[in-house]
Each structure stands twice: as C-alpha cells, then as structure tokens.
Amino acid sequence: MDCVEEEVDFNWEEYLEETGATAAPHTSFRHVELSLQSSFQPGMKLEVANKGSLDTYWVATIITTCGQLLLLRYCGYGDDRKTDFWCDVMTAELHPVGWCAQNHKTLQPPEAIKEKYSDWTEFLVKELTGSRTAPANLLEGPLRGKNTVDLIVVGCLLEVRDAFEPTMYWAARVQRNIGGRLCLSYVGLNDPAYDMWIFYLDTRLRPLGWAKENNLSMKPPTDLCDLRSSSEWTEALDEATTEALKSPLPLEVFKDHADLPTHSFRAGMKLEMVSPVEPFHICPVSVTKVYNEYYFQITIDDLTSEATPTHVVCHAESLGIVPVQWCLKNGVGLERPQGFESQDFDWADYLKHTGAEAAPDVCFPKASLSRGFCKDMWLEAVNPLQPSELCVARITQVKGRLLWLRLEGLTKPLPDCIVDVESMNIFPVGWCEANGYPLTHLLKTVCLPQKKIAVVQPEKQLAPSQPDAPLNLCSSITTDIGLVNGKYCCSQLFINHRCFSGPYLNKGRIAELPKAVGPGKCAVVLKEILTMLINSAYKPGRVLRELQMVEDPQWNCQEETLKAKYKGKSYRSTMRIVRTADQVSDFCRRVCERLQCCQNLFGPTIVSDKCPENCFSQTKTKYTYYKKRKVGRPSLGENPQDGDMTKPARRRKKRKAIFVQKKRRTSIVGYHTAESPQDSDYYYDDEDEDFEEWGSEASSSSPREEASAPKRGRPPRRAALQRRATHPGPETSDRSSPRRTTRSVSYSQNQTAKNTNTKTESFEEEDRLVLERNPLEWSVSDVVDFITSTDCASLAKIFQEQDIDGQALLLLTLPTVQECMDLKLGPAIKLCHQIERVKVAFYSQFAN
C-alpha cells in the first residue's frame, strides 16, 4: 500500500472524542485565565446616580464583577449587603470620582443612610484616601466596558526591557493582539523580520514612560542598535511618543503584573537550565553577573576556547531554571557542556574541575510546581523556532515544573520541546479558534490500496470551472472479475442539476456538484453522493437526520458513517446503504422522497432538458408548507387512533425559543399548546432543535427505537397538559381560578375545560407570567424562589451564590449567562427563556 500524509479538517472536540484523549484543564493556564478577567476590580470607587433622588449622585464601591455587570454598594452602608445592586457598564450612568464636582452635579447620600453621619464630606475624604478609583476611559468613550486584553489596540506603544541588559528599555508598537498575545515591532524598525511575539503579562513589558520614571535608560535593543544611526533612533522615538501620548495605553493593562521578588544568586553559582537557544534539552549554566537584587545574568557553559558565550538575563522566577542534580533526580538526560572531555558527566567532578559552587535549593522556591498537567494531555503551543506558529501539542512527559511537548503537524518534525508549566507560550485547546488564529494541526496518514476503489474528494479532483465533469471512483480498479461488473457494483449515478432540489438542499451548491459519480461499488458510490448532498444542504444536520430514516428491511445493506458540519460543530450518524446494484434505483428514489425533492435529482436516470416529473413547476414555498403540515405535532384534540399507528411518533425535545415575541394574546391567560408555528407566541429555530436533539459528535440510534424507548425523569409538559385538557379532574378545577400565595411571584393558571365530545381547543404552549410585584423590587430570595418554581430549579443555587436580585435578573442576556454562570448552550437558553418571560411580564405590567 502507498501511505501518504494529508491535511484534514481539524476539530478539537471531534478529535478528543475519537481518540479518547484528554485536554489539559483550562485552569492550568493562569495567564489565559487572567486575560479573561474584567478591567474593573473589586474595591474600585465610582460615582453613580442616586436611585431615590433625581439628578443626584453618590459614591459607590465595586463589590464584584461578572462580565460587563458590576455589583455596587453605596459608600456608607459598610458591610450591609441588603441594598447592593447590579448595573450594566454599557447602559448605566456611571462616572469616575470627581465627575460631579467638575460638572456641578449634586453629590448626596441615599435617604436611607442620610442621618448616619453628620459630616459626609469628612466621611468621603476618609473613604477615598488610598482607594482606587475606576478609570474614566473605562466608563465612557470607545474603551467603555472592555476587558483588559481588549484595551490593547493596534498601534499603541509599550516599553520593552532589553533581552541582554535589564536596565535598558525601548518602545515597541503593537502590530497584532491575539487574545493578549502581542506581535510587537520596535520603534524605528519597519522590517517584519524583527517583529517579536510576547504575551501582555510578560514582565519585560511596561507602560510608556516607565523607564524614565524609574531612572532607567531608554536605548534601542543591544543586538539591533547598529541597524540605524543614533539620530534616526531618537527621531523615531520622539515622533512615536508624541503620537502615542494623545491616546495612551490604559494602566489597567498592567494591573496583573506582579512585582519581581528578590533573588539569592551569586556570581559563579552553577545550575541547570532549559537551553534558551534550542529548548529541546537541559544544559549546565553559570551565573556570570549579578545586576541587582532582581536581575542576574546566566551563561551557557562552553569550555571550548573559540566559543561565543550565550547570555540570558534572568530573575528569581525565570522559567526553565532548576537546581544542580535536578535532571539526575528526575531521570532526565543532561546535555554535556561543549568541550567537556569526559563522556560521563558528573556534577561533583565538574564543580571540582571548575572550582564553582552549586546554587542552593532555596534559590528555586517553585521547583516542584506542576499546575495539574499530566502525561498525554493535549494543548496548543508556540513553535519555538517559528514564534508566529501555534501547533497542536501532546504532553509526553511531566517532570516537576517542566513539560515535554510533541508538536504535531509540522512539515519538518522537531524533538520534544521543553516548556515551564507557567510558560505563556502554551494555551488550552480551542484557544486559537476562539481568537480566530490559525492552528497547525495533525496530518492524517491515509493508505491508498492499489487494486481497489480509490475514493477521491470531488473538490480536490475537479477544477472550479468544471462542475459538470463526472467523478470516476474506479481510477485504480483492475480487471478483476466481479469487482466492477459484479452485483455489488453499479454504473454511473447522475446528479441532475435542473431538477427540483426541495426545501433542504441549496440549488446553487447542487449546481456545483459533478454531473455524475461512478462507476464503482454501490456502497462507495452512494456514500459519496450522499456526502455531497449533505454538504449542499442549508442545514446539514437536518439532512443527516432525514437520511438516517431511509431504510427497508428487505434491502441488502451495510452500515456507513456519514458526517455533517454546521456552525463549527461536527455531527455524525450511521446509515444503512444498499450494497447490490438491483436496489440502487429504489434506494435513490426513497432518499429523494425523504428529502422532498424531485425523484430524479440523483439516480441512474439522466435528465437532459425537461424532467419527466415536471418538477420545474414546484416551489420551495409549496414544499416548505407541506413539510410543516406533515411533520407538525397534532393538536390536543386530535385522536391518535386516526393516524397511522404503524409508525410511532418520535419524541422530540422542547424547542429552543429565540425569545422574539410575535404577537400578544388577548384571550384567557393559561397553559396552551400550538398546532402549527403560526399559532405560537414565539418563533423557534428548527436547526437548533435538530442539533439539540442529536448532540455533537454522537451516532444516533434508530429513530423508531428512540421513539419507542421509555425515557426517565419528569413527564413531558405537553403530555401532562393534554391529559388535563381531555380528562378534567380535581387538578384542573384547582387551576381554574387565580390563586394568590405569600410568594412574590405567581402564575395565572386558568384553564377552560371544553366538552370532551367536541374537539379540544388549541392552547398556548407557554403560560404568560403574571407578576404580583415589580421585579425591580425583588430581593435575591425572591429571584431564587422564582427560578425554583420553573424547570430551571437546579440553577437556583447559582443565583443565591452570586447575589442576583431582580434588577440584575432583568439585565441578564444569553452571552452573560453563559460567561458568568459557566453554563452550556442548552441550559443557558432554557434559563434565558424563563428570564425573558419575566421581562415580557415586566414591560406589560410595570414599564408604564
């Protein structure tokens, strides 16, 4: 067999599921966790409008943050959290401290605490002394409400510490910002060859003007200063600084930069270090210079006389430095110094030979830190030889605080590279996708049999200008009897572009497909054609589900796995495809019927100008309307015996609402169900329903088995309502009149029972909420009570823990819920539906 490596579409979720591999936990990447935090910090002060008095303001403290939501407490309440309130940075009237004085606005405390202090001016002076105030540019203007990483915009300037001299800095301009990973170019150099990639939390980065404030030198990089004259460097710096000071980088960018601890190293000490030149091995190094209590210089040991020394500036928490004998204790090979005569390296002999001392263990406070990384976990890592490239990586070893990573997908394989667990050049799986950056992924090895059918992807074989060329699946078939002409092989199958494509398939994409596929093995040809149809669909997941329902017990079938991709997710299903040539025609016809397209769209029949089915007269509207009427659920009044009992109805999950109310009802408020989409209060997205019903990367079982299999848990709401409507009983009569309770939330559950001999009315599927009290006045416990009363009761604890009151509840949106409550899309949408009901009730009852 000829085996070649080819690129395949890579999806982390699909790959981890197929291989059973494990992703490194997101919490192991501290720098990424910090980059996702809000720019606002607990304890910051700001001025906010007074709730009880118009045109007055008061100072408030930020208690906590959740995305762009802030939990505030008016100054003067001390530790009393009863009046804490949430507000949205993007919509609330928030101002920096001092805004009222500048704009002649009244600053007065809330009425509830007005008498608590006699001199509020003295109180504010004490309260604000030594405190941090919320920056004005985060409360107003283009940077309002942005996260820390988003404050770093292309074109802004930072100061970068010299790689060889810690007392020297030079300005660098941001060329790109990828989730906090910055591409910087030195001011005065316009050549991309000298650009560097560095994470924004790196201690080498400082705000513009920092070097001058700390009496440090502002000089061009040591290794690049000869590329320009001194006057050119100075002129470029002055010009860039003048421009940058017009819109300086907010200092909040550096809020998470920790101060460096002092070190205990002395000149002449020896230690081990991951090679800074080729990070594939660990080598002996020496401390050759101590700059100050924070920085020292390390030189790679090289005993050859003509060697050019390699220096690195380090500090107490520099990555990749470990004590002497670390490699021996951890079973890791240590690279011998160049020029060392003995083949067996021994630290005791080496120290005696050089007359040096080993750096004591107290110099390495975090030598055993592992941060939760384990062998065979997967992540994304920077290629050390090409810093702009990020690769799929697997951890092959974990020793103390060092990881050995195998980078996948490289055209020229590298040895396992060694990184520190706190390296800012490693990222969790999905980081590149989340930040829109290309990821170098795995190459898949494909073995091509020489004497069997070679399936070729059409887009790779055909030029774009030849969509009608036939796809031959027998390019490497020999003349073996029975391989082509046997009962398991079929002749060409035609794709008739002019035929009606139905409601599921995109006519334009169909037109781009090859005119014919085959000849070849029946299963191979049909699988190829079905894959093309799936990729030509408006919603591939829906077509995948429909195709799974095409089956006949009399067919001679084999199972094949079909895949679909939609909105970045992959879906798969096992389908039974006929194996014999005499059943191909019937199979094609059944597929076309299932997809509601012309039965000649594909199959052994070629259509030249006019289809014998006269399908040109069909329209999408007609088929779509027919489809909705055909697959729609029966109303409550329909008798199941009237339908076809041979095909059990498929149980479907509750549809996801997009929370767009189409019309307002004026009938009796209560529980209702809808017969068709036109009768529903909400518009639903079918594709979301399809995907929720399937689940990502799961091979669904037979629809009929799924329908007949009993499901555990709470009975479906629709079924319960149907029983109440058709069999009135005590429960129905109890709900026939509004019932008030001591709780702040109540539901109007009126239901009118009709004569059971007549057809039951259609009821609204969702009950309209009737509130006894304005949700703006709800306390945290009121919100918890409401959530507990819904089908999201399991999430009530989150509302309690995060102190979400009525005002905060009304501010919640789907992105906020997902981010702050760490919920998956399904539960988040379900919860947002309940929140939307409260909003609708609020606007209808209390907004005016």
pLDDT digits (tens, 9 = 90+) for 632-643: 333 333 343 443
The burial of 776, by beta-carbon neighbours within 10 Å (0-12 exposed, 13-18 middle, 19 or more buried), is given as middle
- Of 680 and 792, the one with more pLDDT: 792
Q: What is the mean pLDDT of residues 669-683?
A: 34
* Position 480, amino acid: D
Q: What is the pLDDT of residues 775-788, one digit of tens each?
A: 998 999 999 999 99
Question: Looking at the predicted structure, is the pLDDT value of residue 38 above 60?
Answer: yes
Whole-number pLDDT of residue 848: 65
Rounded CA-CA distance 831/755 in Å is: 36
Question: Looking at the predicted structure, is the pLDDT value of residue 45 above 80?
Answer: yes
Question: Looking at the predicted structure, is the pLDDT value of residue 31 above 80?
Answer: yes
Question: Looking at the predicted structure, is the pLDDT value of residue 280 above 50?
Answer: yes
Q: What is the mean pLDDT of residues 113-120?
A: 85
Question: Looking at the predicted structure, is the pLDDT value of residue 817 above 70?
Answer: yes
Rounded CA-CA distance 306/326 in Å is: 29
Whole-number pLDDT of residue 367: 62
Cα–Cα–Cα angle for 684, 685, 690, nearest 5°? 120
Helix (H, G, I), strand (E, B) or coil at 480: coil
What residues contact 763, with CB distance under 8 A and at least 6 apart? 636, 670, 671, 672, 673, 674, 721, 725, 751
Short-list 196, 314, 315, 301, CA closest to 259: 315
271-280, 470-479, 512-521: least confidently modelled range: 470-479
Rounded CA-CA distance 108/619 in Å is: 68
Task: Look up residue 479 and give its DSSP letter.
Answer: -
Q: What is the mean pLDDT of residues 353-378?
A: 84
Q: What is the mean pLDDT of residues 115-124?
A: 86
pLDDT bucket at 270, cuts 50 / 70 / 90: very high
Question: Looking at the predicted structure, is the pLDDT value of residue 144 above 90?
Answer: no
Strands (E), 416-542: 417-420, 426-427, 443-448, 489-490, 493-495, 516-517, 520-521
Question: Looking at the predicted structure, is the pLDDT value of residue 517 above 60?
Answer: yes
Q: What is the mean pLDDT of residues 743-763?
A: 37
Percentage of residues of the chain with pLDDT beyond 90: 25
What residues contact 467, with CB distance under 8 A and at least 6 apart? 511, 512, 513, 514, 515
Question: Looking at the predicted structure, is the pLDDT value of residue 298 above 90?
Answer: yes
Question: Looking at the predicted structure, is the pLDDT value of residue 648 above 70?
Answer: no
pTM: 0.53
123-137, 730-744, 797-811: least confidently modelled range: 730-744
* Position 674, amino acid: A
Q: What is the mean pLDDT of residues 172-197?
A: 93
Percentage of residues of the chain with pLDDT beyond 70: 75
Q: What is the pLDDT of residues 59-77, one digit of tens each?
A: 999 998 887 888 999 998 8
Q: What is the mean pLDDT of residues 407-425?
A: 91
Q: What is the pLDDT of residues 535-552, one digit of tens each?
A: 888 888 888 888 888 888
Rounded CA-CA distance 371/422 in Å is: 8
pLDDT mean across residues, the chain: 76
Question: Looking at the predicted structure, is the pLDDT value of residue 759 above 80?
Answer: no
pLDDT bucket at 473, cuts 50 / 70 / 90: low
Whole-number pLDDT of residue 444: 56
**Would you mind telling me the total number of residues written for the chain in this entry?**
848
Whole-number pLDDT of residue 480: 37
Tokens of 569: 């997710």
Rounded CA-CA distance 186/170 in Å is: 7
Question: Looking at the predicted structure, is the pLDDT value of residue 682 above 50?
Answer: no
Rounded CA-CA distance 421/244 in Å is: 35
Question: Looking at the predicted structure, is the pLDDT value of residue 414 above 70?
Answer: yes
Whole-number pLDDT of residue 292: 92
Q: What is the mean pLDDT of residues 584-606?
A: 88
Rounded (10°) angle between helices 686-694 and 540-548:
60
- Of 665 and 181, the one with more pLDDT: 181
DSSP 432-453: HHHTT---B-PEEEEEE-TTS-
